[in-house]
């Protein structure tokens, strides 16, 4: 320990920033100095930013887990970042309720159970969970809450994380016309919800599952349709100013396939699959408010890209009869069959570990903050 104390604090900080979350949780138990450093919000933020897309893990939602004994999980994280080794850790025991995952947002997942309107926050790296107070809303007469969307991000002005919850209401027959919308905002610091009045959102129709992890530099992004049958746009929400704005998409056809919006290495990516006249994959990148096309590739798949992975590879599903999850390299067109069964309701998440804490200030477990699970104690 004496040798460690002789290391300059700046050097020690740089060393610790290179460690994984599970290693840092162990280091918190070494001494008070390390504990204070690793708990410091500035260190947590720097650690999060220092690990880019290449450090991501794959998280899979397997809705057909009851039918395949080889993959008996609903959610799992794959340990090898290269996916050469497909060993995985089942996450189901960490989920306080069955539900649908959204995110991740700075390493945090959101678990939503629509039937009972229950929401939990999860940090699967630190195994922290937080039950959110129920977000109450009044369903307008003669309507149904048919769609819901989330976004989450950090507000530097208030030093607070905020969660935005969007709901759209259609008529009671379930038709797609948006009759009303409702926006609620949750404050991590205050542990409370408040409503935002944004009447103009009725003009937009959100594209489901198209904007999974699209928070960048204090702004959440969703792919939306401005009025049914009109043009596609990006709808953005500034976490600090709490203002919605519209962003134009590049002049590229989005018809004939699906489109995905994601954040990759501090840039907003748009993945499209469309007929032009062959089925064509494109990756657009927006930086400093300008769109540029990074890559275009033709292929014989017609269901569009699902998610971006790393180094211009995307996840696809393809197969006759029982489908499997594929990894497609858009440059070499090489396909890797991961062997993971795939059905329409499954999903994949690109996940980076995070030290961001979701514990409440009055959570007395912090007094006994020993990360037993990193020592093999469940």
Q: What is the pLDDT of residue 374?
A: 46
For helices 9-17 and 32-39, give the axis angle rounded to 10 degrees.
60
Query: Average pLDDT, stretch 123-131?
Result: 92
Asked if residue 97 has pLDDT above 60, the reply is yes
Is 38 in contact with 27 (CB distance < 8 Å)? Answer: yes
Q: Is 136 helix (H, G, I), strand (E, B) or coil?
A: coil
Q: How far apart are CA 338 and CA 323, in angstroms?
A: 11
Q: What is the pLDDT of residue 364?
A: 45
Q: 324-346 pLDDT, tens per residue?
A: 788 888 888 788 888 887 776 77
Kindly list the distances between the CA atom of residue 29 and the CA atoms of 11, 32, 86, 107, 371, in Å, as whole numbers in the listed order.
Answer: 19, 8, 31, 22, 9
- Evaluated on CA atoms 116, 98, 206, 199, the torsion sign reads positive
Q: What is the pLDDT of residue 297?
A: 78
Asked if residue 309 has pLDDT above 50, the reply is yes
Provide the pLDDT confidence category of residue 142 given band limits of 50, 70 and 90: low
| Average pLDDT, rounded, for the chain | 80
Kindly list the distances between the CA atom of residue 182 and the CA atoms of 166, 199, 205, in Å, as whole numbers in the listed order.
Answer: 6, 9, 13
Whole-model pTM?
0.83
Q: 233-261 pLDDT, tens per residue?
A: 888 999 999 999 988 888 654 554 567 88
Is 248 in contact with 217 (CB distance < 8 Å)? Answer: no
Calculate the CA 162 to chain-centre distance. 14
Provide the pLDDT confidence category of residue 320 given band limits of 50, 70 and 90: very low
Q: How far apart are CA 76 and CA 71, in angstroms?
A: 9
Closest CA to 75 of 38, 109, 36: 109
Provide the pLDDT confidence category of residue 271 given band limits of 50, 70 and 90: confident
Contacts of 306 (CB under 8 A, 6+ apart): 260, 314, 315, 316, 317, 347, 348
Q: Which of 29-38, 185-194, 369-378 is predicted least confidently?
A: 369-378
b vs e for 149-183, b when ≥16 Cβ sit within 10 Å of the residue's Cβ?
bbbbbbbeeeeebbbbbbbbbbeeeeeeebbbbbb
């Amino acid at each position: 320990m004496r040798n460690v104390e002789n290391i300059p604090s700046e050097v020690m900080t740089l060393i610790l920033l290179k460690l994984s979350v599970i290693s840092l949780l162990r280091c918190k138990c070494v001494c008070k100095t390390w504990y204070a450093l690793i708990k410091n919000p500035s260190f947590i933020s720097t650690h999060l930013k220092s690990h880019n897309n290449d450090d991501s893990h794959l998280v899979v939602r397997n809705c057909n887990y009851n039918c395949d004994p080889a993959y008996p999980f609903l959610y799992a994280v794959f340990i090898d970042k290269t996916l050469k080794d497909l060993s995985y850790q089942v996450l189901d025991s960490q989920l306080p309720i069955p539900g649908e995952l959204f995110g991740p947002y700075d390493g945090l997942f959101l678990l939503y159970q629509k039937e009972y309107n229950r929401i939990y926050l999860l940090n699967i790296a630190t195994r922290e969970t937080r039950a959110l107070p129920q977000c109450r809303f009044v369903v307008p007469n003669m309507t149904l809450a048919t769609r819901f969307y989330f976004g989450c991000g950090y507000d530097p002005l208030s030093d607070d994380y905020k969660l935005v919850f969007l709901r759209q209401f259609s008529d009671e027959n379930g038709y797609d016309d948006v009759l009303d919308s409702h926006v609620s905002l949750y404050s991590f610091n205050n542990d409370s919800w408040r409503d935002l009045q944004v009447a103009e959102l009725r003009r937009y129709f959100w594209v489901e599952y198209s904007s999974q992890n699209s928070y960048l530099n204090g702004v959440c992004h969703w792919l939306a349709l401005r009025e049914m049958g009109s043009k596609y746009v990006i709808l953005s929400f500034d976490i600090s100013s709490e203002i919605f704005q519209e962003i134009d998409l590049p002049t590229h056809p989005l018809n004939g396939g699906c489109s995905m919006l994601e954040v990759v290495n501090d840039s907003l990516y748009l993945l499209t699959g469309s007929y032009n006249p062959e089925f064509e994959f494109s990756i657009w990148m927006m930086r400093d408010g300008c769109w540029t096309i990074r890559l275009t590739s033709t292929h014989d798949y017609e269901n569009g890209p699902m998610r971006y992975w790393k180094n211009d590879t995307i996840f696809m599903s393809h197969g006759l009869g029982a489908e499997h999850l594929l990894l497609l390299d858009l440059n070499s067109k090489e396909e890797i069959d991961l062997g993971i069964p795939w059905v329409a309701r499954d999903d994949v998440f690109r996940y980076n570990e995070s030290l961001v804490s979701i514990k409440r200030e009055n959570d007395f477990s912090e007094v006994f903050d020993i990360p037993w699970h990193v020592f093999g104690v469940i």
